[in-house]
Structure 1
Amino acid sequence: MSKYITRGILYLFMIAVAVTCLLPFYSMIITSTHTNSDIARKLLLIPGDQFMENYSRLKESVNIWRGFANTVFIAVVATAINVYFAALAGYGFSKFNFRLRNGLFMFVLGTMMIPGQLGIIGFFKLMESLNMLNTYWPLILPAIHNAFGIFLMRQYADSSVPTEILESGRIDGYGEFQIFNRLVLPIMTPALATLAIFSFIGKWNDFLTPMIILFDNNLQTLPVMIASLKSQFTSDFGAQYVGIVISVVPILVFFAFMSKRIINGVAAGAVKG
């Protein structure tokens, strides 16, 4: 009997945690269907009928779907670059012995302690000297380096990439890049999916760098466009919430897709183990 009581309490706890996590998304969607006055004055629990009106004002104020396409392009390309080069560097730190390896790795980890905002002025000056302002290059190229990603990939390679596979690849005549691309990357799929989630969400929600680097409204990303709906004296809450809904849905879809990759990879590794 105590077994069923414990299981019931555990299920109730899990349901409560799930409801707590979903409540902000529910509130966001519900709020996007109401007028500005209702949003400012009332606690909204049931859907309204103003979603299309709010969406129409959003389209009139900003080119929301152009911003959506810009953000998708930047996030996807930057995530792909981030994941690949972090895996390459982490694999190198894990499986290759070279001089000052540990010292260089500690230096890479040390960069995680420096807030990125401290270098934004120097970064702007550098991009200006390279004639990259008002382009997507400053938003994509920095994805090549990622201290957290390198740390994550090294730890995963240490524990999950056997040296015997690398030796067998060399015996078969594979080059080092062939070994990495054909043998190592498939093994590191769970870690790649984990890093891809963090990288994609970070690039999708990036606000400061696009606001500083991009001047053309047609090049702006979704967070900057949504923020532009708020002026010094007025705020169109309804349009803002519709924009937030449009911005959040792709993140949820991407997370759901990549989380399955993580679960499948971990399950496969457990079966093989």
Structure 2
Amino acid sequence: MISSPQTKPYAPTEIEPRPLAAEPKKGKDRLIKIVLYVGMTLLAIACFIPFLMMLINATRSNEAILTGFTLVPGNALVENYQTMMSYVNVWTGFKNSLFISVLVTLLTGYFSALTAYGFAFYHFKMKNFLFVFMLVMMMVPGQLGLIGFYELSKTLGILDTYIPLILPAIASPFVVFFLRQYILTTLHPSLIEAARIDGAGEFKIFHIVALPIMMPAIATMSIFTFIGSWNNYIMPLVLIFSPEKYTLPVLMGFLKGSQVAQNLGSMYLGIAISVVPIMIAFLFLSKYIINSISAGAIKE
């Protein structure tokens, strides 16, 4: 009887442990995050310091401001306010600027969205020519047509009114371009076709389907539209003649040329009042900037 050779039991080969590279990588990532956070914190502080200086100096007297900057607020706020109001009624300009800026922002957002929707999903004659013409108009400074616009407003009899400050601002080529590019990446044409099959009209499709999707981009553009209209100086200065209709930037310009300019505290207080609405608008609408930028970044 021939015996079969004995087989040795299988023993798995031992794998030598390798040094893990995860720990050094985690440490490197942590260091990068720390550097980024420190850099962003310093950048935020550097951006906030001018606003802090403006608010603190608005409460200090002229002599205290000339001595240097301090983080301790002063006690001359009431005096600065009374000096400023004795020359210029800032709140009248504040009300006028707020009225114009809100109307311009609302009308620009709605009609620019409607125009962008038409350029994105409708086909008509000279569509490409009109879109290219709109892009060319983005590159033309508005100040070049100031004299012609003044003569046109004079012919139409709308000088010394808010009409020439509100209606032309509705046609914003940059806002239309931005909203068109946004809606092309976020709204699929199949949604529009489905709404048409369900029997919805074109305006109803725009208001029910397209407008809600475009709201992040509209809110983003509304920030810049509001700031641009609020800071508009040259157009109200040329087109408005009545002092009670002056906007806040125009009144601030007059304030610099008056005796109030000798009181730095009053000047800082007037500037602070003019900046507050912009800060509030950015505070409530800035979250939409991230949504509009990130929209369309991930596609299914």
CA RMSD, Structure 1 to Structure 2 (Å): 2.1
Name the structure 1 match of 2:58: 32
Q: Please point out which of 242, 267, 279 is paired with 1:240.
A: 267
Matches of 2:292 and 2:122 in 1, distance apart?
Answer: 25
Q: Do 1:134 and 1:215's aligned partners in 2 also have CA atoms closer than 8 Å?
A: yes
Residues 1:253 and 2:280 are matched in the alignment: yes
1:97 is displaced (CA, Å) by: 1.5
Name the structure 2 match of 1:138: 164
Matches of 2:38 and 2:103 in 1, distance apart?
Answer: 41
1:125 is displaced (CA, Å) by: 0.8
Unaligned runs of 5+ in 2: 1-26
Task: Spell out, residue by residue over 1:189-222, the C-alpha distance to the aligned partner (whole angstroms, 9 max, x if none).
Answer: 1110111001000001111111111111111111
Matches of 1:122 and 1:267 in 2, distance apart?
Answer: 41
Task: Spell out, residue by residue over 1:22-67, the C-alpha distance to the aligned partner (whole angstroms, 9 max, x if none).
Answer: 111112112212223444x343132222222111111111111111
Matches of 2:152 and 2:296 in 1, distance apart?
Answer: 44
Name the structure 2 match of 1:45: 70
Given residue 276 of structure 2, which amino acid in structure 1 is its aligned partner? V
Matches of 1:154 and 1:187 in 2, distance apart?
Answer: 12
Q: Do 1:226 and 1:243's aligned partners in 2 also have CA atoms closer than 8 Å?
A: yes
Q: Do 1:67 and 1:221's aligned partners in 2 also have CA atoms closer than 8 Å?
A: yes
Q: Do 1:189 and 1:262's aligned partners in 2 also have CA atoms closer than 8 Å?
A: no
1:234 is displaced (CA, Å) by: 6.8
Matches of 2:186 and 2:291 in 1, distance apart?
Answer: 15
Name the structure 2 match of 1:96: 122
- The verdict on how the C-alpha distance between 1:232 and 1:240 changes in structure 2, with shifts beyond 3 A counting, is closer
Matches of 1:267 and 1:102 in 2, distance apart?
Answer: 27
Equivalenced residues, count: 272
1:144 is displaced (CA, Å) by: 1.7
Give the alignment of 1:48-127 within 5 angstroms.
48-127=74-153
Given residue 69 of structure 2, which amino acid in structure 1 is its aligned partner? L
Given residue 256 of structure 1, which amino acid in structure 2 is its aligned partner? L
1:165 is displaced (CA, Å) by: 1.2
Matches of 1:104 and 1:272 in 2, distance apart?
Answer: 30
Matches of 2:260 and 2:120 in 1, distance apart?
Answer: 54
Name the structure 1 match of 2:19: none
Name the structure 2 match of 1:176: 202
1:132 is displaced (CA, Å) by: 0.7
Q: Do 2:60 and 2:77's aligned partners in 1 also have CA atoms closer than 8 Å?
A: yes
Matches of 1:265 and 1:5 in 2, distance apart?
Answer: 30
Identity percentage of aligned residues: 44
SS of equivalent residue, structure 1 residue 61: coil
SS of equivalent residue, structure 1 residue 228: helix
Q: Do 1:190 and 1:266's aligned partners in 2 also have CA atoms closer than 8 Å?
A: no
- The verdict on how the C-alpha distance between 1:120 and 1:62 changes in structure 2, with shifts beyond 3 A counting, is same
Name the structure 2 match of 1:185: 211
Q: Do 2:83 and 2:260's aligned partners in 1 also have CA atoms closer than 8 Å?
A: no
Max Rg structure:
2
1:169 is displaced (CA, Å) by: 1.4
1:263 is displaced (CA, Å) by: 4.4
Give the alignment of 1:162-241 within 5 angstroms.
162-231=188-257, 235=261, 236-241=263-268
Task: Spell out, residue by residue over 1:157-186, the C-alpha distance to the aligned partner (whole angstroms, 9 max, x if none).
Answer: 111111011111111222111111111010
Q: Do 2:220 and 2:292's aligned partners in 1 also have CA atoms closer than 8 Å?
A: no
Unaligned runs of 5+ in 1: none
SS of equivalent residue, structure 1 residue 229: helix
Q: TM-score, normalised by structure 2?
A: 0.85
Given residue 13 of structure 1, which amino acid in structure 2 is its aligned partner? G
Matches of 2:267 and 2:241 in 1, distance apart?
Answer: 21
1:145 is displaced (CA, Å) by: 0.5
Given residue 254 of structure 1, which amino acid in structure 2 is its aligned partner? A
Residues 1:158 and 2:207 are matched in the alignment: no
